Structure 1
Amino acid sequence: MLSKKHVVLLSLLAAASAAAADDGYILRQNERTLEQIEAAYAQMPPLCYSPSANRWDRLGRTRERLAKGGLLRIVMLGDSIVNDTSRSAWDLVLMQRHPNCRIEKVTSVRGSTGCWWYKGPGRVQKFVLDHDPDLVIIGGISQRDDLASIRDVIGQIRDKSSPDILLMSGAFGSVDPFDQPQWRRIIDPHCFSDYRKGLEGLAGKLNAGFLDMEAHWAIYIRNSGRELDWFKRDPIHANERGEQILGRILANYLSLDPVVPAACDKESDPLVLAKLERFQDWKFGFMVHWGIYSQWGCIESWPLVEVDTWGRPDDLKAWTDRDKNFGRFSRDYVALNRTFDPQHFDSHAWAQAAKGAGMRYTVFTSKHHDGFCMFDTKQTTYRTTDPSCPFHASPKADFVKEITDAFRSEGFGIGVYYSKSDWHHPGYWAPEWPHRDRNVNYDIKEHPDKWATFVDFTHGVIEELMSGYGPVDILWLDGGQVRPPSQDIDMPRLAAMARQHQPGLIVVDRTVGGRYENYLTPEQQVPDKPLPYVWETCMTMGDQWSYKADDRYKSTRQLIHLLVNIVAKGGNFLLNVGPDPDGRLPEPALVRMKEIGEWMAVNGSALYGTRPTPPYKIGNACLTKKGDTIFATVLATDGQQTPPKEITLPGIREVRAIQMLGTRTPVTWLVRDAGLVLQIPEAIRTSPPCGHAWSFELTGATFADDERPTAMERRENARSIAIN
């Protein structure tokens, strides 16, 4: 039974709703105190949203008021979603961060509406201009609204006044960030609706700010560990926790110094998250370790580290020819730039070979630890384009340009490997002191100026790579010992600079962890089970990363099985090949790449664009998922050249249809206690579409531990209901 107090409250709400239907609200006071909103926010994970610095380009008046202090008048215009944002009392948070600024916020709201209503006669004057705003925030607008009406309202405002304008996208809870297709529509610009793209474009044309609120609340909820409903009071409105998401995002956007807790290590840039989604679609990449070290067939730069004796094995001819004299060996290694002359280098041949193998992205070593730059840097003369290198006069001497252009022309994603450590730079290995291990060889605290020169050098080289070589998808940083606190190169500034040139850039500060290791890179190994984050196994085709004349290569079958296992566990496979000193890919590598490509031509759809699905592997079959389709790729056993007569997939209790990839010959099946049994026809066993592994597309598959009813059970349930 309702109390008298509740009856009065409901009557007031009903009256307010009726008024809103005819006209609209003008709200001048916050419903919640600072203490109340802090209590709600304390229940939640911290917001890790950090806005871009260029947001102020179109909000100069607002920035000036926040910086100098004084009165800042703000009008929020929109529907009930704007009301939810306003109820968060975000302005109190903003004033707490800018104590010299006093904010007067007016929220003009009409439920279930948009700018098409506000453009009506006299409404812009009443709901906006009468309040003399410095900033007008138009939000809660959705696809039901139209861009022409938004343009009309902004035009009416600017006819009589000149406030800053900020457009905000998206209704709260309109998509489920845990649903893969919906998630992609939120974060991937290629999947944005025409309206959402148009709204951002309109903001640019009208010199208005743009906050993609929809993307940022979805990212927060996906990373929060909570279900979407925990933040909603009904299907389209936020509760007090959801209000705090909206409010804190807006407060961070309008803060001169956004508050991002140190504990935040998850990426929140929607462009980066979208790129990571596409990265996970690629599955198979081509890595290249190539440099002056390729002339000696040694283990890249590692022989230069005195204590790392494994880098100078007894079978390394360059080591034994110098009587194992480390000083002589080191001097001659550094001088290898004077003999590097790869006359048979052909970047297009590399790209075509990788494309033929079914690879979708590449990562090339622009500079290894030895400091020799494989491109036309202006930061050092230790480079391929310097006259000291015999290849410098070739039009192909800028290898990064040649390789990125060639691979990009074949549709590849582009990754640039860069070693943060540099054993040639005097700011890392200072010549006045001995250097025995891989680390900086002096005390940075005692010589901060020397370290500063190295940091400036690092930022300068990476800026060249990010600004002079076209679109780059991945900055792959090696040298994990270069990290705070002992070897701090200011990764926040470096990453921000790199992304200013390459929006959405994936930064892989490998082995360091935190915000700038956007995916993990297990080296020469495959995890035992799926990982709860984006990852990539980087592995050599032979025994070592760089060229070795007598290297031992993995077999084609080994490589295919590695690829299938990695993808089933949710990873990508970055397979490395070391070209020879003349610039050619070794023949054993080319043979394997061709054979892998033939297999991928048949089975690629079981890998590209898929995601892992439990139980990942059943029997000898690795599972992947694309939408509602399950792919089972059955790995051949030792000595097996064709599929067996029967293949059992344990745990599958039902399937509607089965198709073997690469053939139109139908496959029959039975469901037994042991699981799903595929019956392979003689025609397939005699002439299979491929070797090494065979992929099957399973439509409507359900597993024994799946509590959902099978199709047969659903039919029986429906029949039972009809009878009753």
Structure 2
Amino acid sequence: MKRRDVIKISAAAAAGLYLKPWTAHANYLFNNTQKVFEPNWDSLSKYQVPEWFRDAKFGMWAHWGPQCEPESGDWYARGMYQEGSWQYDYHVKKYGHPSKFGFKDVINVWKADKWNPQELVDLYKNAGAKYFMAMANHHDNLDLWDSTYQPNWNSVKMGPKKDIIAGWEQAARKAGLPFALSVHAAHAWSWYEPSQRADQNGPLAGVPYDGNLTAEDGAGTWWEGLDPQELYAQNHPLSEGSLDNGKIHSQWNWGNGVTPPSKEYCEKFYNRTIDLIDKFNPDLLYFDDTALPLWPVSNVGLEIAAYMYNKSLDKKGNPQAVITGKILDEEQRKALVWDIEKGQSNEIEPLPWQTDTCIGSWHYDQGIYRDKLYKSAKQVIHSLIDVVSKNGNLMLNIPVKGDGSIDELERAIVEEIGLWMRLNGESIYGTRPWKIFGEGPQQATAAELSHQGFNEGKGKPYSSSDFRFVTKGDRLYATVMSWPENGKVLINALRSDSPYLSKSIKKVKLVSTGKKLKFKQNAEGLEVYFPQVKPSVSYANALEIKY
């Protein structure tokens, strides 16, 4: 989950394009249901985003797996093999040298003994989440369910010895929430390459890390009979520039010198993902990939998308499933929901989209907790309002500790988000963009969107002169992004001669209290007078406006 640049696929990689035949899964599906979608971009571009997703607006995510066990931030299973990095130093101190105690061994000590999925999902639902997402696997390549095609390296076989995804799904279904899954494992091939290294300095210089181990090395160990290569997937030459720890970002699109994945690797990823879809019927599938997994060196991502869309067709032949992808071109945005990581668009997008973000690190980081560096509920709510005004949804990760719990600071933030949503949720759920997304000085300072995102929080703070608009039925909602200390606001876009209005405004109500507010509309704008008493949370104040 870091910045990745768009890179054209190299000729060598393109030459290795794997056009995999349909498996028994797909043949069974297409022989028994209507075949609407084919595994190509032209066919997938017929996709229409279902209304449930457009109405939901706000989801919450448990980006939780074995990399949370050390509680030392994101990409731990890569950083622990990077000599001299803070995660390497932490790992050596806590667990031992990565030639002797690798990430496979971190998995072994991960027990998740305080995990209560129902309590967490209910907490998120009470906070206003309308869908819930769990992480099915990460770049660390451990499947978090009883995986048919990763039969040894999964959370049922080792570590917690629990079907994590089954537990999350049961909790989400009981709470009545659409269930989403995030899949990240396509990049284990190159992401784990540091595990092939050895120290350059010190007493163990030259001793290979455990990413080089095979099944034959396991005699007398806890993992005897298992093959570490099924986890690390490192039976291949290193990519060009592999010793440059930042090189992976420019190779994320399977170009710029990355070693092309084998046909067997691509097929295994396909089978694992189809197995996941068949067992849990997710309403949404999030891919942490440029476009689709393994694209463009393999078409398995296209096959997975076609399979899932066809499987989810309703009686009218409309798909009810959602699949997200990153760094999409215009055609791909018709086929998938564009996901922007830690950022948002600066305009109303013509098609529904989603931003994914977190209040801390993607994986739990005890340092963020210790130093109280979490995003505040106010920051989350401001992002949500802005995203929704531009035709987007917000997916929020609350980092989960290794033991399966969240800390008290996180819980307080979640509860405060819930308080605001209970007071103002009608201005969020089921809304659609208005003619403009808003007005005010903050937008002029907003950062441009990079290829992947990462422009959140870079503008000036919102003020009572910043407004965001959405509509629902005959109602317009204008959210004042801060409480006006002078007791009034002036909204220029709603002036009497506004090109956006065809009728005079008849009523203004403060959504959080239901109180009708005094106002006047003239050539300067709509002037609204706020009450003296603030609601319990007042950093964003939705107004319901009727013509």
Give your verdict on TM over 0.5: yes
The structural deviation recorded for 1:346 is 0.2
Any residues of structure 2 matched to 1:365-514 within 5 Å, and which? 365-380=135-150, 381-386=152-157, 388-389=158-159, 391-392=160-161, 397-419=162-184, 420-423=186-189, 429-431=233-235, 433-434=237-238, 436=242, 438=248, 451-469=262-280, 471-480=281-290, 487-503=297-313, 504=319, 505-511=321-327, 513=329, 514=331
Tell me, yes or no, if the aligned pair for 2:507 and 2:516 is still in contact at 8 Å: no
Q: Which residue of 1 aligns with 2:68?
A: 294
The structural deviation recorded for 1:54 is 9.0
Measured in 2, the distance between the counterparts of 1:57 and 1:266 equals: 19
Residues 1:547 and 2:364 aligned together: yes
The structural deviation recorded for 1:322 is 7.7
Q: Which residue of 2 aligns with 1:522?
A: 340
The structural deviation recorded for 1:663 is 2.3
For residues 687-719 of structure 1, the C-alpha deviation after alignment (integer angstroms, 9 at most, x for no partner) is: 43532111111011xxxxxxxxxxxxxxxxxxx
Q: Which residue of 2 aligns with 1:662?
A: 512
Any residues of structure 2 matched to 1:623-702 within 5 Å, and which? 623-636=469-482, 644-652=486-494, 653=496, 654-680=504-530, 684-688=531-535, 690-700=537-547
Identity %: 19
Tell me, yes or no, if the aligned pair for 2:385 and 2:468 is still in contact at 8 Å: yes
Measured in 1, the distance between the counterparts of 2:295 and 2:163 equals: 34
The structural deviation recorded for 1:473 is 0.9
The structural deviation recorded for 1:298 is 3.1
Residues 1:621 and 2:467 aligned together: yes
Letter in 2 for 1:460: N
Q: Secondary structure at the match of 2:59?
A: strand
The structural deviation recorded for 1:545 is 0.4
Counterpart of 2:86 (choices 306, 310, 314) is 314
Q: Secondary structure at the match of 2:480?
A: strand
Tell me, yes or no, if the aligned pair for 1:483 and 1:512 is still in contact at 8 Å: no
Residues 1:580 and 2:358 aligned together: no
Letter in 2 for 1:347: P
Higher relative contact order (CA 8 A, sep 6+): 2
Letter in 1 for 2:46: S
Q: 1:612 to 1:582 in 2, by over 3 A?
A: same
Structure 2 unmatched runs, 5+: 1-25, 193-228, 314-318, 441-465, 497-503
Q: 1:481 to 1:506 in 2, by over 3 A?
A: closer
Q: 1:315 to 1:455 in 2, by over 3 A?
A: closer
Tell me, yes or no, if the aligned pair for 2:294 and 2:301 is still in contact at 8 Å: no
Q: Secondary structure at the match of 1:403?
A: helix
Measured in 2, the distance between the counterparts of 1:456 and 1:647 equals: 59
Q: Which residue of 2 aligns with 1:358?
A: 128
For residues 499-527 of structure 1, the C-alpha deviation after alignment (integer angstroms, 9 at most, x for no partner) is: 44443222223335554851111111122
Q: Secondary structure at the match of 1:268?
A: coil
Q: 1:346 to 1:324 in 2, by over 3 A?
A: closer
The structural deviation recorded for 1:539 is 0.8
Measured in 2, the distance between the counterparts of 1:344 and 1:261 equals: 42
Letter in 1 for 2:188: D
Measured in 1, the distance between the counterparts of 2:111 and 2:231 equals: 28
Any residues of structure 2 matched to 1:104-253 within 5 Å, and which? none
Tell me, yes or no, if the aligned pair for 1:621 and 1:633 is still in contact at 8 Å: yes
Bigger radius of gyration: 1
Residues 1:328 and 2:99 aligned together: yes
Give the total of aligned pairs.
Answer: 426
Q: Secondary structure at the match of 2:42?
A: coil
For residues 602-645 of structure 1, the C-alpha deviation after alignment (integer angstroms, 9 at most, x for no partner) is: 10000101011122113311111112210011111xxx5x7642
Q: Secondary structure at the match of 2:515?
A: coil
Tell me, yes or no, if the aligned pair for 1:415 and 1:472 is still in contact at 8 Å: yes
Q: 1:398 to 1:55 in 2, by over 3 A?
A: closer
Q: Which residue of 2 aligns with 1:268?
A: 46
Letter in 2 for 1:545: W
Q: Which residue of 2 aligns with 1:345?
A: 115
Measured in 2, the distance between the counterparts of 1:317 and 1:283 equals: 41
Q: 1:598 to 1:268 in 2, by over 3 A?
A: same
The structural deviation recorded for 1:407 is 1.4
Tell me, yes or no, if the aligned pair for 1:660 and 1:667 is still in contact at 8 Å: yes
Q: Secondary structure at the match of 2:400?
A: coil
Residues 1:569 and 2:343 aligned together: no
Q: 1:403 to 1:472 in 2, by over 3 A?
A: same
Measured in 2, the distance between the counterparts of 1:583 and 1:427 equals: 22
Measured in 1, the distance between the counterparts of 2:141 and 2:49 equals: 33
Measured in 2, the distance between the counterparts of 1:531 and 1:289 equals: 27
The structural deviation recorded for 1:371 is 0.5
Tell me, yes or no, if the aligned pair for 2:389 and 2:434 is still in contact at 8 Å: yes
Counterpart of 2:356 (choices 538, 542, 545) is 538
The structural deviation recorded for 1:261 is 12
The structural deviation recorded for 1:452 is 2.5
Q: 1:493 to 1:355 in 2, by over 3 A?
A: same
Q: 1:689 to 1:548 in 2, by over 3 A?
A: closer
Q: 1:591 to 1:377 in 2, by over 3 A?
A: same
The structural deviation recorded for 1:264 is 2.8
Tell me, yes or no, if the aligned pair for 1:427 and 1:451 is still in contact at 8 Å: no
Measured in 1, the distance between the counterparts of 2:64 and 2:340 equals: 21
Measured in 1, the distance between the counterparts of 2:130 and 2:233 equals: 37
Q: 1:354 to 1:532 in 2, by over 3 A?
A: same
For residues 545-582 of structure 1, the C-alpha deviation after alignment (integer angstroms, 9 at most, x for no partner) is: 01011211011211111111111111111111110011
Tell me, yes or no, if the aligned pair for 1:537 and 1:573 is still in contact at 8 Å: yes
Tell me, yes or no, if the aligned pair for 1:284 and 1:574 is still in contact at 8 Å: yes
Structure 1 unmatched runs, 5+: 1-51, 59-208, 212-252, 701-724
Q: 1:669 to 1:314 in 2, by over 3 A?
A: same
Instruction: Report which stretch shifted further, 500-509 or 374-383.
Output: 500-509
TM-score normalised by L of structure 2: 0.70
The structural deviation recorded for 1:262 is 7.0
